[in-house]
Amino acid sequence: MEDTAPADLAGVPQPPMPDVPAEESLHPPVGAGPAAPPVPRRPAWRTLARPQTLVLVAAPVAVTLALLVAHGDALLPLPAALTLLAVLLTQTGANMLDAYLEIERARHSSWLAGTVDHAGHPHALGMQPLSVLRASIALIALGGCAGIPLILLGGWQLAALGVVGLLAAFLYSATSYAIKRLPAGELPIFFALGPGLTLATAFAQRQRPTLDVFLLGCALGLLATAVVELARLRNAALGRVGGGTGRLRVGRWLTTLSIVGAYTCVLIAALTSVPARGAIFAFFSLPLGLVALTGALSVRSAIVARLAARDALRAYLLFAGLLLLGILAVPAALSLWQAL
């Protein structure tokens, strides 16, 4: 006898079913509740890891290493690789933990947030929630393990920065007092994604951090704060977090100050440090930065906030790339000019 679709689903395209034995798919258990909607599993891990945000931790490390080269310091390859590995693992774990906790909060609050359906099944995880939680904690732990050998090089300063970074990654979403939900939650984000990473990278290279390392770290941290804040404004516009219009107003001005402050820090670093002169190249990203700034000032809805967050991330990518290019290219160009 041929299988026929129920009357209310006739003519409606059905999503692909997961690979299960035919007996299970044709004869579901008696009394079983509504099955969770099937979600493609292959892209799920990539979605939860949010790879587009990994540049927020990779850029400060790369810029600091480039600036040390511009200062004439010899780099230590293994500590450089371990530093990059540690921050990437930790950030990936923090992203997955954040996604898991947001889904769980939505499950227990309301399906209106768009992350769960009427039955409470998560749309975004695409896998067992406990698997996501375990993987996120394992990645954060591996990031901490990758940073342990660096403590022998950087001493107690690097150890302190590492502990602060791990706590920020874990507490960003965890517990009822998640950092991102606190009124001053942007400050730990700024430090962790900016000067904290540049200082830690310098310590791992057995170098004493200079003013330009700190200033460029502040620039990257401020721009990263703008990206994160616009994502929060999107959630506020959707009603996922409280605050209403007041939250939107504060977020718009905080984003504006962060973008303006990032370019100001770069200008000061370029004017006060010869090795950082090439940082002025970052100003070629100013048009895209102004697009993100305009979007931040005009945020009134979730759609505008989402577009503004996308523009801010693009501005960060261009900003960091030009910063890295300028720091490496200008000293090389000057050396070639002197050789000629």
What's the pLDDT at 298? 75
Which residues are within 8 A (CB) of 147 and not within 5 positions of it... i.e. 6 or more apart? 82, 83, 86, 158, 162
Nearest-angstrom CA–CA distance, 263 and 259: 7
Is there a contact between 248 and 230 (Cβ–Cβ < 8 Å)?
A: no
Q: Is 193 helix (H, G, I), strand (E, B) or coil?
A: coil
pLDDT in tens, 4-56: 444 444 443 444 444 444 444 444 555 444 554 444 444 577 777 788 889 99
Quick count: other Cβ atoms within 10 Å of Cβ 305?
28
Q: What is the pLDDT of residue 5?
A: 45
| Tokens, residue 296 | 């931040």
Q: What is the pLDDT of residue 214?
A: 95
For the chain, the structural domain boundaries read 53-339
Torsions phi, psi for 122 (to 5 deg): -70, 135
Work out the number of other CB atoms within 10 angstroms of the CB of residue 210: 17
* 315 to 209, 249, 269, 281, 318: CA distances (angstroms): 26, 22, 19, 13, 5
Secondary structure percentages of the chain, helix, strand, coil, to 5: 75, 0, 25
The torsion angles phi and psi of 170, rounded to 5 degrees, stand at -75, -40
- Which residues of the chain are modeled with pLDDT < 50? 1-27, 31-33, 36-42, 110-124, 240-243
Q: What pLDDT does 108 receive?
A: 55
Residue 137's pLDDT is what? Answer: 87
Q: Which CATH class is domain 53-339?
A: mainly alpha
| pLDDT tens profile 144-156 | 898 888 888 878 8
Name which of 9, 22, 14 is nearest 38 in CA terms.
14
The confidence score (pLDDT) of residue 174 equals 59
pTM of the model: 0.76
Query: Residue 116 pairs with which residues in a beta bridge?
Result: 122
Is residue 188 within 8 Å of residue 228, measured between CB atoms?
no
Q: What are phi and psi of 75, to 5 degrees?
A: -85, 150
Q: At 324, list the tokens.
A: 């890295």
pLDDT for residue 117: 41
Instruction: Please report the pLDDT score of residue 112 as a whole number.
Output: 42
What's the confidence (pLDDT) of residue 182? 60
What pLDDT score was predicted for residue 14?
Answer: 44
